[in-house]
């Protein structure tokens, strides 16, 4: 595997609906296009030797969308974890789903558990999907877990909180990319992104191409990370 430019790339995949609207199409067609683009981006990251890729697939706020759109997103997510599972496994990718299981239908939960179990020993790369995820909720859930485990106030520190996150072994992302011209976090990896670099582009997610990926990585390579020093 070639030396990776970074260890962990995280992406807020924004703009599927706007991409579809600009073409006079339905929101679901935009999500389908975004899904197809994600598969390509995953391969591009593998080609560049990036060992961790995390994407924001469905936030806890997305439940506010129409029942039809939410249902389609659930179907699409389940498809990604079933129809594409053999491909992920053959490529040596470990799949992780980060987020709450609340409100997710049983068939999707079974697909999550099956995908994680099948790929858990894969070591080429780790692909994490933040699904039914909110950064504040993750921190609150971590605090509750520590309290329920009997931790005292003196025992709750950064290391303890890290151990109670949804995916404790996930390294902090060096670079977070957001598409579609928005320049905010929207609750994505709030704990893990304390020292992340950010890269914003105007293109909608379905138009994110290999050239844009390399631009983001090149931009990161020119930055000097001080970590508060």
Residue 73 lies in a domain: yes
Question: What pLDDT is recorded for position 116?
Answer: 97
Residue 71 in domain:
yes
Q: Indicate whether 228 belongs to any domain.
A: no
Residue 5 confidence (pLDDT): 78
Domain contains 3 = no
- With respect to residue 229, please indicate whether it lies within any of the assigned structural domains: no
Residue 227 in domain: no
Spatial separation of the C-alpha atoms in residues 48 and 2, rounded to whole Å? 7
Range of the domain at 50: 8-221
In a domain, 128, yes or no: yes
Number of domains in the chain: 1
| CATH number of the domain encompassing residue 166 | 3.40.1180.10
Task: Give CA separation, 154 vs 144, 161, 167, 214, in Å.
Answer: 15, 12, 23, 45
What's the length of the chain? 229
2 in any annotated domain: no
Active site residues: 14, 62
Instruction: Please give the backbone phi and psi of residue 52, each rounded to the nearest 5 degrees, phi first.
Output: -130, 125
From first to last of the 229 residues of the chain, give the pLDDT tens digit: 345 679 999 999 999 999 999 999 999 999 999 999 999 999 999 999 999 999 999 999 999 999 999 999 999 999 999 999 999 999 999 999 999 999 999 999 999 999 999 999 999 999 999 999 999 999 999 999 999 999 999 999 999 999 999 999 999 999 999 999 999 999 999 999 999 999 999 999 999 999 999 999 999 998 876 655 5
**pTM, 2 dp:** 0.94
């Amino acid at each position: 595997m070639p030396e990776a430019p970074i260890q962990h790339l995280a992406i807020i995949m924004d703009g599927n609906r706007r991409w579809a609207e600009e073409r006079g199409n339905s929101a679901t067609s935009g999500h389908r296009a975004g899904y197809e683009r994600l598969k390509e981006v995953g391969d591009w990251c593998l080609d560049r030797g990036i060992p961790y890729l995390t994407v924001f697939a469905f936030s806890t706020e997305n439940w506010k969308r129409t029942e039809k759109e939410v249902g389609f997103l659930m179907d699409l997510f389940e498809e990604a974890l079933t129809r594409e599972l053999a491909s992920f496994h053959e490529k040596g990718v470990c799949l992780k789903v980060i987020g709450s299981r609340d409100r997710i239908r049983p068939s999707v939960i079974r697909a999550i558990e099956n995908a994680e179990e099948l790929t858990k020993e894969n070591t080429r790369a780790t692909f994490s999907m933040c699904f039914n995820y909110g950064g504040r909720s993750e921190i609150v859930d971590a605090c509750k877990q520590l309290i329920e485990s009997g931790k005292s106030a003196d025992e709750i520190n950064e290391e303890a909180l890290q151990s109670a996150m949804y995916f404790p072994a996930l390294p902090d992302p060096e670079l977070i990319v957001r598409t579609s011209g928005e320049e905010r976090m929207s609750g994505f990896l709030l704990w893990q992104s304390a020292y992340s670099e950010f890269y914003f582009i105007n293109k909608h997610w379905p138009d994110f191409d290999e050239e844009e990926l390399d631009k983001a990585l090149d931009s990161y390579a020119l930055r000097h990370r001080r970590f508060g020093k």
